[in-house]
């Protein structure tokens, strides 16, 4: 952070010297031993992360930098100045991706806990500072990025004990939650993130965590204090747990990678890019197997369809039957979701339904149009599946999709069966702004084989010869396939067209150009984005 001082003729007034010295002690350069310990762990300081995240020279002011821990009753002020700079919370405003987007779209607020100060805990003054910053973020409608590493509440702040009992009236959590749906909220964590820090992190739209992260609503001290056993911090909420269960949206290699991914994520909410490249779209159809029941890699299709380097997948390890990604086509940002046929043949299970529902909320809140790639036999079925409250989880898709107002462009890659396909397309095929199919598309109220088994059960059972029974079954499946194939669906106007896969991007951009200008608003479109 660059600072300018008022010097004239080589002289500085004492009161200014004091201010300059106090500011100097807040910087990394004044604490080389602390910085070295941090680097030895393969991690960066909070100021290094912020400097990397914000555009060059835009990290030029810091709010509340002269604060220190509320512990003057137990430690000398000079020691607190040296050891608790900024009370462990760095707060600033600046710009991100300003080289790509105009200044009004690159504005950003950053709030970051400093783990080198009392383990990044939440002290009296950094709570007060955070409240101040979040109030400004709401007033100025600033996208907010939170570096959340830290251990939660700080019991060592004793200065306020005569007038504070529990401090439960602080509004930090409600202030951050109030921003949900108003501006993008990005949570970044590397290392330990427990208790109050984790509560703030969980309010964010997206959580980006490094591989060495541990995230939990309580750290070791609280767990032990609650009589639940003794655990190491590394035992609590590792990435191996918090990524598959859906807490973490994006796993990063290290601090630098987390910052890079945060900048990429923010870019989708900042607008379109004028320059782009894409793969040869003739490659798309080659990704589809000729055998209709064989799986394929839908991520390969997404990467070919999207602009080069523009795909950012969210919650990759959670609800793996559904893929949700932010992408660009001709520079324009889109939210894309697709069935993953390598998991449950693309059936939508309870976790997948939750993943879809929240992704719809995210895109709708910030007017990100959606692309849906459909290949599903429907919803997951069976007694075991119903133990996961599927009836409620599945129907979240309908409630969220039907009440969203962003454009939805649906493309059936292969199977479009039953309620699952309807939900993917926004609750009904005709809820999509267009729904087209690739030539491999096949449709029905349920899977073709299942429809034949149920609808022709008695006829098939009456055939005693197994070979003849199988031949009749194959004949009936072929008949149903012919009836439900894409060109027949299009001829009955149940879908809008059957297209060459190479034309998919063209259809999407034509659909975008047909949209009316979005309504301008100053407040929220929806009350909030569901944390789950």
Residue 217, C-beta contacts closer than 8 angstroms, at least 6 positions apart: 194, 195, 198, 199
Give a yes or no: residue 239 inside a domain: yes
Give a yes or no: residue 532 inside a domain: no
- How far is the first Cα of the chain from the last one, in angstroms, to the nearest whole number? 36
Give a yes or no: residue 327 inside a domain: yes
Q: Are residues 177 and 263 in the same domain?
A: yes
Q: Are residues 314 and 194 in the same domain?
A: no
Q: Are residues 414 and 437 in the same domain?
A: yes
Beta strands 322-329; 312-314: pairing state: antiparallel
Q: What would the pLDDT profile of 367-386 be if each residue is shown by its tens digit?
A: 999 999 999 999 998 999 99
Query: How big is the chain, counted in residues?
Result: 532
pTM: 0.94
Please state the domain count of the chain: 3
Rounded distance between C-alpha atoms, residue 207 and residue 437, angstroms:
34
| DSSP code per residue over 23-86 | HHTTSGGG-HHHHHHHHHTT---HHHHHHHHSPTTT----BTTT---S-TTTS-HHHHHHHSGG
Q: Are residues 65 and 197 in the same domain?
A: yes
Q: At what angle do helices 46-53 and 255-267 cross, to 10 degrees?
A: 30
Closest-CA residue to 411 (of 339, 303, 313): 339
Q: Are residues 418 and 294 in the same domain?
A: yes
Give a yes or no: residue 275 inside a domain: no
Q: Are residues 79 and 104 in the same domain?
A: yes
pLDDT given for residue 459 in this prediction: 87
- Alpha helices in 76-194, H assignment, sequence order: 77-83, 103-106, 124-140, 172-179
CA 449 to chain centre: 37
State percent of the chain over pLDDT 70.
98
Q: What would the pLDDT profile of 467-492 be if each residue is shown by its tens digit?
A: 988 888 888 888 888 888 999 999 99
Q: Are residues 368 and 468 in the same domain?
A: no
Rounded distance between C-alpha atoms, residue 416 and residue 494, angstroms:
11
pLDDT given for residue 453 in this prediction: 82
Give a yes or no: residue 385 inside a domain: yes
Give a yes or no: residue 524 inside a domain: no
- Give 151's DSSP letter: -
Q: Are residues 169 and 232 in the same domain?
A: yes
What confidence category does residue 2 fall into, taking pLDDT thresholds of 50, 70 and 90?
Answer: low
Give a yes or no: residue 310 inside a domain: yes
Q: Are residues 245 and 305 in the same domain?
A: no
Q: Are residues 100 and 221 in the same domain?
A: yes
Domain that holds residue 373: 281-441+487-513
Q: Are residues 454 and 407 in the same domain?
A: no
Q: Are 70 and 160 in contact (CB under 8 A)?
A: yes
Q: Are residues 169 and 182 in the same domain?
A: yes
Rounded distance between C-alpha atoms, residue 181 and residue 531, angstroms:
11
Give a yes or no: residue 435 inside a domain: yes
Query: Where residue 285 sits, what CATH number does that domain have?
Result: 3.90.226.10
Domain boundary residue, one of 218, 238, 267: 267
């Amino acid at each position: 952070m660059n600072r300018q001082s008022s010097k004239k003729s080589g002289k500085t007034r004492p009161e200014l010297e004091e201010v300059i010295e106090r500011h100097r002690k807040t910087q990394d350069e004044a604490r080389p031993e602390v910085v070295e310990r941090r680097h030895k762990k393969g991690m960066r300081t909070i100021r290094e992360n912020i400097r990397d995240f914000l555009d060059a020279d835009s990290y030029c002011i810091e709010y509340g930098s002269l604060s220190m821990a509320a512990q003057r009753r137990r430690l000398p002020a000079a020691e607190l100045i040296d050891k608790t700079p900024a009370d462990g919370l760095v707060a600033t405003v600046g710009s991100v991706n300003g080289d790509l987007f105009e200044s009004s779209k690159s504005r950003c607020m950053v709030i970051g806990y400093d783990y080198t100060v009392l383990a990044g805990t939440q002290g009296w003054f950094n709570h007060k500072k955070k409240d101040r910053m979040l109030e400004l973020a709401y007033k100025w409608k600033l996208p907010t990025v939170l570096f959340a590493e830290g251990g939660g509440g700080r019991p060592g702040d004793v200065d306020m004990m005569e007038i504070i009992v529990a401090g439960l009236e602080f509004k930090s959590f409600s202030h951050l939650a109030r921003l949900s749906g108003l501006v993008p909220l990005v949570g970044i964590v590397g290392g330990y993130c427990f208790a109050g820090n984790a509560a703030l992190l969980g309010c964010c739209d997206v959580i980006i965590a490094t591989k060495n992260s541990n995230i939990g609503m309580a750290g070791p001290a609280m767990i032990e204090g609650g009589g639940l056993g003794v655990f190491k911090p590394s035992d609590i909420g590792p990435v191996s747990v918090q990524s598959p269960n859906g807490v973490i949206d994006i796993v990063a290699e290290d601090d630098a990678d987390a910052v890079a991914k945060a900048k990429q994520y923010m870019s989708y909410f900042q607008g379109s890019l004028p320059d782009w490249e894409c793969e040869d779209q003739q490659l798309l159809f080659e990704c589809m197997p000729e055998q209709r029941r064989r799986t394929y890699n839908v991520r390969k299709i997404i990467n070919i369809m999207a602009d080069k380097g523009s795909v950012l997948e969210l919650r990759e390890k959670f609800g793996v039957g559904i893929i949700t990604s932010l992408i660009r086509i001709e520079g324009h940002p889109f939210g894309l979701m697709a069935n993953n046929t390598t998991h449950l043949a693309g059936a939508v299970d309870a976790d997948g339904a939750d993943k879809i529902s929240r992704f719809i909320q995210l895109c709708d809140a910030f007017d990100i149009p959606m692309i849906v790639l459909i290949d599903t036999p429907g919803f997951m079925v069976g007694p075991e599946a119903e133990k996961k409250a599927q009836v409620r989880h599945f129907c979240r898709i309908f409630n969220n999709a039907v009440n969203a107002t962003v454009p939805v462009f649906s493309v059936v890659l292969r199977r479009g069966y039953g309620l699952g396909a309807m939900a993917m397309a926004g609750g009904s095929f005709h809820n999509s702004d267009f729904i087209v199919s690739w030539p491999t598309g096949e449709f029905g109220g349920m899977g073709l084989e299942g429809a034949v088994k149920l609808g022709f059960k008695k006829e098939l059972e009456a055939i005693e010869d197994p070979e003849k029974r199988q031949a009749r079954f194959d004949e009936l499946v072929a008949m149903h396939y012919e009836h439900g194939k894409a060109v027949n669906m299009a001829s009955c106007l149940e879908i809008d067209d059957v297209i060459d896969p190479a034309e998919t991007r063209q259809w999407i951009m034509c659909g975008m150009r047909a949209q009316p200008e979005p309504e301008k608003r100053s407040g929220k479109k929806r009350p909030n984005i569901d944390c789950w």
